[in-house]
Structure 1
Amino acid sequence: MDSSKNVKAFVSWSGGKDSCLALYHADKDVKPVCLLNMIAKDAKRSMTHGLPSEMLQLQAECLGLPLIQQSTTWNTYAFNFKLAVSKLKEQGVEIGIFGDIDLEEHRIWIEKVCSDIGVIPKFPLWKRDRKGLLEELISCGFEAMIVSLDIRLLEKDYLGLVLDHSFIEYVSRLAIDINGENGEYHTFILDGPIFNKKIRVLDGRIVTENNRGLYKIMKFTVEEKS
């Protein structure tokens, strides 16, 4: 591969902290051209984080990147992911950027899928220190709102709050993955150094579905950045 050119890449996008940090750490010779998000068949919520489609579209607008949303079910996830990546490959995309940290089984799956299509996967966060990633998120100026959590493991009071050092200290004391890699909690990025505009949440409400607490954003505004 000619490293002197800007190689087109897609970013596997959840709307949360890890995919955003992966985009932030993309190689300098890589040109992210779109965000790829897998969405439930009803096209209302993302598959992994359960985020509303319109909020992910808003994020993409603030980042200045188009959002590609591929509808799927869990049973057809692999087929539809391959379908979406194949279309991007036809458009000249050669690299996929992923926010995985150390789940070996998932990395192997990604590498197999990308190999079948002829796309090279990149993992900018791979084997990085978990606590260090959270601290970097804050120090770099990213605002990650906690929008979903397992109420059997975490207190609902954290829903709707921006991830900060007190939250890091809190989860560090618990017998869970500090980064929420097993679904303990999910975040939604409102702002950061790679955002052209920022999202300001004005109102929301906490609801409970099964064992999950969710923060539903009811009112927001998009602000220009100076």
Structure 2
Amino acid sequence: MKLAALFSGGKDSTYAAHLEEKGGHEVPIFACMRPARGDSYMFHGVNIHLTPLLAEAQGKPLASAPSSGEKDKEVDELRRLIELLNVNGVITGAIASNYQRDRVNVICGELGITHLSPLWGKDPQELLETEIKSGMEIIVTHVAARGLDQQWLGRRIDMKAAAELKILGERYGVNVCGEGGEYESLVVDAPWFKKRLEIKKAEVIWENTSGTYIVNEASLRNK
């Protein structure tokens, strides 16, 4: 099946696309929405400007479109992008968010194509550990939950971090995969990447109880 991967540069969209390609599907293109607002209901916005580089790192072209970030417009904006892609289906990295999954299901139903979400319903702790074991180099780019302080920004998510997230989940109810918006991530390298993302300049912005790791300058390096 010829599929487009809805791609944000984060761990779940990256891993979902990899799984479907590994499973035998053709994934000739990545697709990305660029929300104008940081509080978009549907789309990941932190460091979204890096998606062209991250798609190139995996040898994929990227189709992208701006989004207003407004709740009542986002579905139509995504539909217009998907209509242009000439694919049989789309891949998302949804794990437990019915809001996003249901709306993509509606779009795909209207267009007569398939929606594949290979991570859906998986145990969050097991999934995070599987993603780490896959060889993805994942860093934290945004935090907004009790127990996740400024020290997490820019930190690599390895098995030690996964164990700490498990404790925070037990103590404060943090979803270890960040599915509830507790944190966002960026994949800078993986075994299937043809090139690695090198971060050259970044800054941390902290406000009240949340913060963001913003990459200001980056480039691709041959592996």
> 8 Å contact 1:8–1:32 — kept in the other structure?
yes
Question: Offset at 1:200?
Answer: 2.1
1:19-58 map, 5 Å: 19-26=13-20, 28-41=23-36, 48-58=43-53
Question: Offset at 1:30?
Answer: 1.4
Q: List alignment gaps of at least 5 residues for structure 1.
A: 1-6
Partner Cα distance (1:53, 1:124) in 2? 22
Report the counterpart of residue 156 of structure 1 in structure 2: 150
Question: Offset at 1:153?
Answer: 4.3
Question: Offset at 1:79?
Answer: 0.8
- The change in CA–CA distance for 1:204 and 1:194 in structure 2 (over 3 A counts) is same
Structure 2 residue identity aligned to 1:155: D
Partner Cα distance (1:115, 1:218) in 2? 39
1:200 to 165, 176, 198: 198
Using structure 1 for the length normalisation, give the TM-score: 0.86
Structure 1 residue identity aligned to 2:200: L
2:83 to 70, 73, 86: 86
Question: Offset at 1:69?
Answer: 1.2
Question: Offset at 1:72?
Answer: 1.4
Question: Offset at 1:40?
Answer: 2.3
Q: What whole-Å deviation, never above 9, does each CA across 1:135-162 have from its counterpart, x for those lacking one?
A: 1122111011101111544111010111
Report the counterpart of residue 178 of structure 2 in structure 1: 180
**Bigger mean CA offset, 123-132 vs 203-212:** 203-212
Question: Offset at 1:86?
Answer: 1.2
Q: What whole-Å deviation, never above 9, does each CA across 1:87-142 have from its counterpart, x for those lacking one?
A: 11xx3x00111111123343222212110111100111122221111111221110
Partner Cα distance (1:60, 1:23) in 2? 11
> 8 Å contact 1:153–1:184 — kept in the other structure?
no
Structure 2 residue identity aligned to 1:145: I
Q: List alignment gaps of at least 5 residues for structure 2.
A: none
The answer to whether residue 9 in structure 2 is matched with residue 15 in structure 1 is yes
The answer to whether residue 132 in structure 2 is matched with residue 138 in structure 1 is yes
**Bigger mean CA offset, 7-16 vs 210-219:** 210-219
Structure 2 residue identity aligned to 1:35: F
Identity of aligned residues (%): 26
Report the counterpart of residue 90 of structure 2 in structure 1: 96
- The change in CA–CA distance for 1:191 and 1:118 in structure 2 (over 3 A counts) is same
Using structure 2 for the length normalisation, give the TM-score: 0.87
After the TM superposition, list the runs of 4 or more consecutive aligned residues in structure 1 that deviate by more than 3 angstroms. 218-221
Q: Aligned residue pairs: how many?
A: 213
> 8 Å contact 1:11–1:98 — kept in the other structure?
yes
> 8 Å contact 2:46–2:142 — kept in the other structure?
no
Report the counterpart of residue 169 of structure 1 in structure 2: 163
